């Protein structure tokens, strides 16, 4: 059999075009908002888009080098990035949700966490307070309440109970099913890890 050459497939062309589109969108956004003040909503979307491009390219690299079976967990990560962006965009208070996206982890770190020193926890609290002072006045009371909330699995848990609930906002059939299947890969499930495995790659390995 002829060896599999990823670069010659339609998937490779779509992968390259998607990457170019994302990079161009980021370039145009940077040009449009050059010199504009800091905006937490724009910052969150920029961070999510950057992480999406990096993860997307990592998937392409795995497939290109014959390790397609390992890409399932990264595809699940791409889903989670999309879910995060959708939660922020569809929130009743998008800037507050962007704040939650950035600082849910910092809030957990700032508490009496046995892994981190008092100095690290203090620095995390200081950063959160600084960012709250930069939020619109209307969002600051809710942001201060956020500091006292219990930690949850998802930063968007105040409005949606699960990632699947956020996926329903996009009204695209089978997204929730695909997310569940890829979750199996992310957690090392037997079928999930083998879902995208390339048999030729297994034999080569």
The 10s digit of each residue's pLDDT in 5-64 is 555 677 777 778 888 888 888 888 888 878 777 789 999 998 999 899 899 889 888 888
- The tens digit of pLDDT for each residue in 125-170 reads 899 999 999 888 988 999 999 888 888 889 999 999 999 899 888 7
Instruction: Decide if 152 contacts 133 (C-beta within 8 A).
Output: no
CA angle 203–198–7, rounded 5-degree value: 110
Whole-number Cα distances in Å, 73 to 95, 151, 184, 196: 29, 24, 8, 10
Tokens 């507050």 belong to 96
Between these two residues, 1 and 137, which has the higher pLDDT value?
Answer: 137
Confidence of residue 202 (pLDDT cuts 50, 70, 90): very low
pTM of the predicted structure, to 2 decimals: 0.81
Q: Which of 32, 33, 76 is nearest to 52 (CA)?
A: 76
Structure tokens at 20: 């170019």
**Owner of token pair 């889903």:** 79
Report the candidate in 41, 97, 81 with the shortest Cα–Cα distance to residue 167: 81
Question: Measuring CA to CA, which residue among 26, 156, 34 is closest to residue 84?
Answer: 156
């Amino acid at each position: 059999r002829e060896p599999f050459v990823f670069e010659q497939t339609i998937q490779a062309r779509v992968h390259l075009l998607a990457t170019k589109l994302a990079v161009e969108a980021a370039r145009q956004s940077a040009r449009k908002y050059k010199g504009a003040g800091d905006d937490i909503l724009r910052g969150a979307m920029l961070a999510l888009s950057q992480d999406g491009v990096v993860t997307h390219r990592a998937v392409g690299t795995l497939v290109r080098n014959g390790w397609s079976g390992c890409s399932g967990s990264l595809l699940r990560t791409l889903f989670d990035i999309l879910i995060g962006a959708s939660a922020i965009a569809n929130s009743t208070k998008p800037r507050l949700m962007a704040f939650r996206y950035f600082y849910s982890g910092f809030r957990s770190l700032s508490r009496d966490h046995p892994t981190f020193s008092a100095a690290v926890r203090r620095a995390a609290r200081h950063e959160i307070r600084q960012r709250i002072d930069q939020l619109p006045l209307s969002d600051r009371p809710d942001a201060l309440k956020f500091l006292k909330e219990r930690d949850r699995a998802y930063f968007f848990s105040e409005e949606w109970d699960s990632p699947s609930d956020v996926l329903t906002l996009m009204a695209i059939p089978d997204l929730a099913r695909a997310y569940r299947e890829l979750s199996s890969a992310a957690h090392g499930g037997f079928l999930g890890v083998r879902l995208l495995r390339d048999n030729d790659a297994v034999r080569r390995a």
